[in-house]
Amino acid sequence: GLAVPVAGSLAACGETPQQTGRLLRSAARLPKAYATPLPLPPVRRPRGELIEIAQRSATVEILPGLKTEMMTYDGVFPGPTLETRRGEAVTVRHTSTLTLPTATHLHGGHTPAKSDGWPTDLLVPPGFETKHTEHGSSHGSSHGSSHGRGHGSGHQGMADPEAKVTKGSRDYRYPLEQPATTLWYHDHRMDFTAPQVWRGLAGFHIVRDDEEDALSLPRGERELPLMITDRSFDEDGALRYPAIDPELLGEPGVEDRYMAGVLGDVVLVNGAPWPEAEVDGAQYRLRLLNASNARRYALRLHTDDGKPVGFTQIGSDGGLLSTPAEHAEVTMAPGERFDVVVDFRELAPGTTVEMRNGLGRGRTAQVMRFRIARRASDDVRIPQRLADVPPPETPGGAVVRRWHFRREGVHGRRGWGINGKPFDPAVPQAQVPLESTEIWEFFTDAHHPVHVHLSPFQVLRRGNHGPGPMDLGWKDTVDVRPYEAVRVRVKFERYAGRFLIHCHNLEHEDMAMMAGFETI
């Protein structure tokens, strides 16, 4: 593709040319790396068809000896890991005593529109005042908050006539008619997704099925979900996050500094700073999730004596690959998942394996460490045939739909948007016939991870080449680089209604780099 330099304003505030965010330095005393044991979120399975989650604020210890007040699912960060099975529908009942509205999205879920967490379909705590008229007892037009985005989009106070506000509790219904994979749930509130996820509203949701259970893969304690995030802390342990000041955002140039995405200087895995996991000398399945607001990672493993340990990728966002793929490095943009197996069988007890981030600097180049505690038996043999995934071939005669992510020319001026428009919850940008296959092309002038709701896609092309090494299998989030058109094949099935396409840099999403589309 074209070699285009990254714009100065972006390079200047990021950590590396690949990072485009604003780095927030912590004032708190930070722990030594690899001194905290790796935590695993509590696992929750449905009772009957129900899982109940209480959204509430909670005080959590993230940095040793300090207290961090967070917005949580069930009092923990990450939220509980939900474990469900393909085809076994569940209702997740969220109750809220948070002081702010939320909208919960199951990322990667094949979910009907009314449970998809549309950004103005809000859950508010009991007694919460909504500015707009409520229709009936619990439904109302909802976009009560109005904060300017500084690009004069005329969004202030925009009402979404179809939005539904519910008070106290809200049921999300997930049919889960989709292959086994790693999903995650997180907040999706209009304009405030980034700060609310930063403050704690994210958790794993794992789908299992019989086909995957029948395969020889590491399981039980040898299957580790790893949610990687970055955060920044004040002296007393409180989270740091820049205030969004609409006045400031109105000034040319200021938007760049504040809203190119927020990076923290502390890397957390499952909510623990630079943790260490004690492991057997065996194969492990790692369900890697980049749940960071804006940070990318290029993950590599090496032993303390410098030997690289590779990754065998078995799955992607939407399920298993057809056949395993070997990688020396896994590059992850926000929202992406990589299901990988790592092999510690040849390593002597006492050996440590560090996971490093090639895109970080200093402490953000460190992620976590494994310590081989003991030899162990392991009869797992990764099958060469994992799942039936159609080859990524371009279908003849399919509609090509282009989605241009950029910050110029939105409403004729500087601003964030897709195809020249900032997100408007009342006006979908496209109508897509259900059950037809389309080619979607994503194009950007900066680095944006593009995420599509409802159905996974297969990457067909990246620039002038075929899919890249991180584009294998079923994806729902693809890392789109400047001036490199990415073409995907997508088929939306079963559910009619309104869904989203957006940048998964959460600050960009909040700056309205998002569009609705309607399946019909």
For Cu ion, the binding residues (CB under 5 A) are 448, 503, 505, 508
- Partner from ligand C2O, Cu ion, none contacting 500, C-beta within 5 to 8 A by type: ligand C2O
At its nearest, how many Å lie between ligand C2O and the CB of residue 501? 8
3-class secondary-structure state, position 126 = coil
At its nearest, how many Å lie between ligand C2O and the CB of residue 379? 36
Chain-centre distance for alpha carbon 355: 20
Residue 337 in contact with residue 405, Cβ under 8 Å?
Answer: no
Q: Which residue is nearest to ligand C2O, using beta carbons? A: 107
Residue 63 in contact with residue 77, Cβ under 8 Å?
Answer: no
- Partner from ligand C2O, Cu ion, none contacting 508, C-beta within 5 to 8 A by type: Cu ion
Quote the CA–CA distance of 463 and 520 in Å, as a whole number. 30
- Partner from ligand C2O, Cu ion, none contacting 502, C-beta within 5 to 8 A by type: ligand C2O
Please state the φ and ψ torsions of residue 362, each to the nearest 5 degrees: 60, -125
- Partner from Cu ion, ligand C2O, none contacting 286, C-beta within 5 to 8 A by type: none
Q: Which residues bind ligand C2O (CB under 6 A)?
A: 105, 107, 186, 188, 335, 451, 453, 500, 502, 504
At its nearest, how many Å lie between Cu ion and the CB of residue 153? 17
At its nearest, how many Å lie between ligand C2O and the CB of residue 513? 11
User: CB pairs under 8 A, 24+ apart, for 246-254?
Assistant: 246/147, 246/148, 246/149, 246/150, 248/150, 249/148, 249/149, 249/150, 250/148, 250/150, 251/150, 252/414, 253/9, 254/150
Would you say 123 or 515 has its CB closer to Cu ion? 515
- Partner from Cu ion, ligand C2O, none contacting 44, C-beta within 5 to 8 A by type: none
- Partner from ligand C2O, Cu ion, none contacting 453, C-beta within 5 to 8 A by type: ligand C2O
At its nearest, how many Å lie between Cu ion and the CB of residue 192? 17
- Which amino acid belongs to residue 226? L
Chain-centre distance for alpha carbon 130: 29
Would you say 123 or 418 has its CB closer to Cu ion? 418
Would you say 21 or 335 has its CB closer to ligand C2O? 335
**Percent of the chain as helix, strand, coil, to the nearest 5:** 10, 40, 50
Would you say 334 or 482 has its CB closer to ligand C2O? 334
Residue 60 in contact with residue 29, Cβ under 8 Å?
Answer: no
Task: Specify the DSSP class assigned to residue 437.
Answer: E
- Partner from Cu ion, ligand C2O, none contacting 107, C-beta within 5 to 8 A by type: ligand C2O
Q: Tell me how many degrees the CA angle 105-107-110 measures, rounded to the nearest 5.
A: 95
At its nearest, how many Å lie between ligand C2O and the CB of residue 184? 7
Chain-centre distance for alpha carbon 511: 17
At its nearest, how many Å lie between Cu ion and the CB of residue 449? 7
Task: Specify the DSSP class assigned to residue 475.
Answer: B
At its nearest, how many Å lie between ligand C2O and the CB of residue 454? 10
Would you say 462 or 508 has its CB closer to Cu ion? 508
Would you say 197 or 389 has its CB closer to Cu ion? 197
Quote the CA–CA distance of 109 and 499 in Å, as a whole number. 12
- Partner from Cu ion, ligand C2O, none contacting 505, C-beta within 5 to 8 A by type: Cu ion
Would you say 344 or 416 has its CB closer to ligand C2O? 416
CB neighbourhood size of 368 (10 A): 27
